[in-house]
Amino acid sequence: MAVSGPDTLVIVRDVDSLRRRIAAWRRDDLKVALVPTMGALHKGHLALVQRGLQLCDRVVATIFVNPKQFGPNEDFGAYPRQESEDFQLLAAAGVSLLFAPDVAAMYPPGFATSVRVAGLSEELDGAHRPGHFDGVATVVTKLLLQACPDAALFGEKDYQQLAIIKRLQTDLNIPVDIVGVPTMRDADGLALSSRNAYLTADERALAPALHKAIVAAAASIAEGGDIAAALTTAKAAIAAAGFGRIDYVEARHADTLAPLQNATEPGRVLAAAHLGRARLIDNVAIQR
Ligand code: PAF
């Protein structure tokens, strides 16, 4: 079998083919990075690829819209799917291999295992999306074991997801470096997300208010301001901007995600709020 170079993107849909390709690279002593995605790619995903190429010789991307991480009333059916556009973007970015299995290949009949990171998965987004992080943890564990990469890259935009993946990697002794990559934003501050496609033009214009509000809260906490007051002010600003339901605006410890006690701890302000059909999440560091 020919070993595909970094410039030729090959797509595989089953685990045996994925492993055969990666095994050939391993025989040549090449390091492999994994970039798991659900497709509908944007510059945030391409930043993960770029970081992967800095750390390793070959990047494998995955596209799988994982049904197990969507609740019954969530957007699994509507989630944007655009594999041929994604393929072009990944090829141009220097990805060598795309793993794009269908649901039956990932979850064949009889599939009965679930990975659950207790505690962390029930907080914040987990409280509003029951079972979501079990679905994420299960599919990410599978992808890590299927590809056995040297490094796997995830965006900091999904900060809680990143914390959960780091936890499961440690707890299950999976031999991989989990690498977080800073959030990519539009010029007005809106975090890039595949779900931004749900925003109307009017909603898109007011969406950056979420980022602005949490940046202001983080600055106030960093300057020694009262944490609860800063979060209340942020919620009021998000509501005043025209958002609908606010699921949470919280200040948490950057590593454990426990409620932040004071600004001397490494902290993060995290928020989730609804805007039209979209549920936007974002987070920023509290920098003293
Ligand atoms: O962040 C995502 O796109 C997904 O949650 C992930 C990590 C690919 C798992 O399906």
- For the domain that residue 31 is a member of, what is the CATH number? 3.40.50.620
Of 66, 125, 179, best ligand 1 pocket probe by most atoms within 8 Å of the beta carbon: 66
Ligand 1 lined by 136 (C-beta under 6 Å): yes
Ligand 1 lined by 140 (C-beta under 6 Å): yes
Strand locations in 172-287, DSSP E?
177-181, 246-253, 267-275, 278-286
What separation in Å is there between the alpha carbon of 225 and the centre of ligand 1?
35
Say what the pLDDT of residue 196 is.
Answer: 97
* Residue 42 known to be catalytic: no
Q: Is the pLDDT of residue 4 over 90?
A: no
Burial of 157-184, coded b for 16+ CB within 10 Å and e otherwise, reads: bbbbbbbbbbbbbeeeebebebbbbebb
Residue 151 covered by a domain: yes
Chain segment 192-201, per-residue pLDDT in tens: 999 999 999 9
Ligand 1 lined by 66 (C-beta under 6 Å): yes
What is the rounded average pLDDT for all residues in the chain?
96
Is there a single domain that holds both residue 209 and residue 273? yes
Sign of the torsion formed by the C-alpha atoms of 64, 194, 8 and 153: negative
Ligand 1 lined by 139 (C-beta under 6 Å): yes
What separation in Å is there between the alpha carbon of 100 and the centre of ligand 1?
13
Say what the pLDDT of residue 19 is.
Answer: 98
Residue 288 covered by a domain: no
Say what the pLDDT of residue 6 is.
Answer: 55
Is there a single domain that holds both residue 155 and residue 255? no
Domain extent for 56: 2-181
Q: Which residues, 6+ apart, have CB-to-CB distance to 110 below 8 Å?
A: none
Helix or strand or coil: residue 11? strand
Mean pLDDT of 193-211: 97
What separation in Å is there between the alpha carbon of 68 and the centre of ligand 1?
11
Is there a single domain that holds both residue 151 and residue 109? yes
Ligand 1 atom 8: the closest Cα is on which residue?
A: 37
- CA dihedral angle for residue 247, residue 252, residue 257, residue 261, rounded to 10 degrees: -130
Is there a single domain that holds both residue 17 and residue 126? yes
Mean pLDDT of 22-38: 98
Say what the pLDDT of residue 160 is.
Answer: 98
Ligand 1 lined by 38 (C-beta under 6 Å): yes
Higher-scoring residue by pLDDT: 8, 137 = 137
What separation in Å is there between the alpha carbon of 20 and the centre of ligand 1?
24
The count of domains in the chain is 2
Mean pLDDT of 268-272: 98
Say what the pLDDT of residue 7 is.
Answer: 62
